A = this chain, B = another copy of it.
């Protein structure tokens, strides 16, 4: 409230315009610039950001919309975005759109951010609906939008993603080599990324000339919190029990599901990887902590976040305005939960 640009200008013996130019790195003679800088330091002046953004319409802040913070998969992304933004003098404003993945809530928080006049928005793992109903495109018309893990080809929308179909194929190829032919697929409902994986799963089976058995595809709802774990254990246990022909391998779309699978499998008196090989997805901290340590797909979340943040800054600073699509290839991380198919199935 105390010291303003005018005071600095007077102290340095220049006009306010010159001070403004100095702090915005515009052309000012070196000598003058120095005088201004020392005046700033002497008076400990910092430009008032509200006034600045009132003029420019920009506030060096970017909104980050994410389904949930308590999911380690997301928190790693957020942390890397935040680090990257901060390093460049931007402020990341984080809002969670709710792990229930409500389309409407996602739209709401995004709009709040726009009203708050963030300079751009990074949206992580949007809902299927909002990826397809034109919402993201309309947001992108108002300000720079970078989407992490969304659908490609949206007009004006920058996309940074991991090629999950590719990861799925890596998993299946690997299991195939180990001799597995009957591979179960555990997924969440209403998740765009699960759709992508399932499509790849189906295509791979067709290309290999294997049939896709609907009984091998299981949908779970709300597997975001460990509280659900007990229910899942039970569900998996019953699912296995009811199966005429059991799978020799199982892929779970996320690690909490993978854990639920382990529990259910063990409850059914089977072992991992002795009876059933298990592959997870995301390589969260859980994966290496599990027993047996989980074979999984590393999504490079940190890299995704960093790349998205950099794209955003580039666009905000007028570099590379053409929306891009940057795709990372996931990596298969082999640990102890997968093994060659057991002999007794071959006999």
Q: Given the complex, which residues of B lie within 8 Å of A226, measured CB to CB?
A: 285, 288-289
Query: Do A54 and B48 form a contact, CB below 8 Å, given A79-B68, A116-B91?
Result: yes
Q: Are A115 and B49 in contact, with the CB atoms below 8 A?
A: yes
A162 to chain B, nearest CB (A): 18
Q: Taking the complex as formed, is A120 at the interface, i.e. its CB lies under 8 A from any CB of chain B?
A: no
Q: From B49, B95, B112, give the contact of A117 (CB < 8 A).
A: B49
Interface: A176 (CB within 8 A): no
In A281-316, the 8 Å CB interface with B consists of 285-286, 288-291
What 0/1 readout, one digit per residue, does chain A (226-240) give for beta carbons within 8 Å of chain B?
100100000000000
Q: How far is the CA of A116 from the CA of B118 in the complex (A)?
A: 13
Q: Mark A247-283, 1 if CB is under 8 A from B, else 0.
A: 0000000000001000000000000000000000000
**A70 is contacted by which of B59, B72, B92, B96 (Cβ under 8 Å)?**
B72
Chain B nearest CB from A56 CB (Å) reads 9
Taking the full assembly, how many copies of this chain does it contain? 2
CB distance from A163 to the nearest CB of B (A): 24
> Hey, which chain B residues are within 8 Å of A54, CB to CB?
48, 50-51, 54
Q: How far is the CB of A67 from chain B (nearest CB, A)?
A: 11
- A179 CB to nearest B CB, Å: 28
Tell me whether A82 and B95 are in contact (CB under 8 A). yes
Please, how many angstroms separate the alpha-carbon atoms of A109 and B85 in the complex?
13
Tell whether A1 is near chain B: CB-to-CB under 8 Å. yes
Q: Confirm or deny: A76 has a beta carbon within 8 angstroms of a beta carbon on chain B.
A: yes
A94 contacts the other chain (Cβ, under 8 Å)? yes
* CB pair B53 A82 closer than 8 Å: no
Judge whether A160 is part of the interface by a CB distance below 8 angstroms: no
A46 within 8 A of B: yes
Closest B residue to A47 by CB, please name it: B115
- Tell me, in angstroms, the Cα distance from A51 to B59 when the chains sit together: 12
Which residues of chain B have C-beta atoms less than 8 A from A5's C-beta?
none
A69 interface residue (CB < 8 Å to B): yes
Per-residue CB contact flags for chain A residues 191-213 toward chain B (1 = under 8 Å, else 0) read 00000000000000000000000
Residue contacts A-B, CB under 8 angstroms, 25 given: A48-B54, A50-B50, A50-B51, A50-B53, A51-B54, A54-B54, A68-B79, A69-B75, A69-B82, A70-B76, A70-B285, A72-B72, A75-B75, A82-B94, A86-B109, A86-B112, A91-B93, A91-B95, A91-B116, A92-B94, A93-B93, A94-B94, A229-B289, A286-B286, A291-B291
Binding site for B on A (CB under 8 A): 1, 46, 48-51, 53-54, 57, 59, 61, 68-70, 72, 75-76, 78-79, 82-83, 86, 91-96, 109, 112, 115-117, 225-226, 229, 259, 285-286, 288-291
For the A-B complex with A69-B78, A93-B94 known, give 8 more contacts whose Cβ atoms are closer than 8 Å.
A46-B115, A48-B117, A70-B79, A82-B94, A91-B93, A91-B116, A226-B289, A286-B286
